[in-house]
Amino acid sequence: MDAANTRRRFDALVLPHLDAAYNLARWLCANPGDADDVVQEAFLRACRLFGGFRGDQPRPWLLAIVRNTWFTTWQKRHAAAETGYDEALLRASLPDWHGAPEDPEQWLLREEDVRLVHAALAQLPVAFREVLVLRDLEELHYRDIARIVDIPVGSVMSRLSRGRRMLAAAVVALRDNPPRPATHDAPTAADPIRPAGDPRHGMQ
> For residue range 39-54, what is the model confidence (pLDDT) as tens digits?
999 999 999 999 888 8
**Cβ(74)–Cβ(25) under 8 Å?**
no
* pLDDT the model gives residue 78: 55
pLDDT tops 80 at residue 152 = yes
**Cα distance between residue 25 and residue 32, in whole Å:** 8
Confidence of residue 16 (pLDDT cuts 50, 70, 90): very high
Which pLDDT does position 33 carry in this prediction? 86
Minimum mean pLDDT range among 31-45, 122-136, 153-167, 169-183 = 169-183
Q: Quote the pLDDT of residue 25.
A: 93
DSSP codes of every residue in 83-118: ----HHHHHHHS--S-S--S-GGGGGG-GGGHHHHH
Judge whether 117 and 108 are in contact, CB under 8 Å. Answer: yes
Task: Tell me: pLDDT of 98 over 90.
Answer: no
Residues with Cβ within 8 Å of 153's Cβ and at least 6 positions away in sequence, in order, are 142, 143, 146
Burial of residue 31, with CB atoms counted within 10 A of its CB: 0-12 exposed, 13-18 middle, 19 or more buried = middle
Range scoring the smallest mean pLDDT among 5-19, 52-66, 100-114 = 100-114
Q: What is the mean pLDDT of the segment spanning 94-111?
A: 49
- Per residue in 80-96, pLDDT (tens digit) is 334 334 444 444 444 44
Distance CA 116, CA 105 (A): 13
Q: Which helix (H) or strand (E) holds 173?
A: helix 153-176
**Mean residue pLDDT across the chain:** 76
Q: Report the pLDDT averaged over residues 97-116.
A: 56
Q: DSSP assignment, residue 123?
A: H
The predicted model scores a pTM of: 0.69
Cα–Cα distance for residue pair 106/99, rounded to 1 Å: 14
**What's the rounded mean pLDDT across residues 49-66?**
89
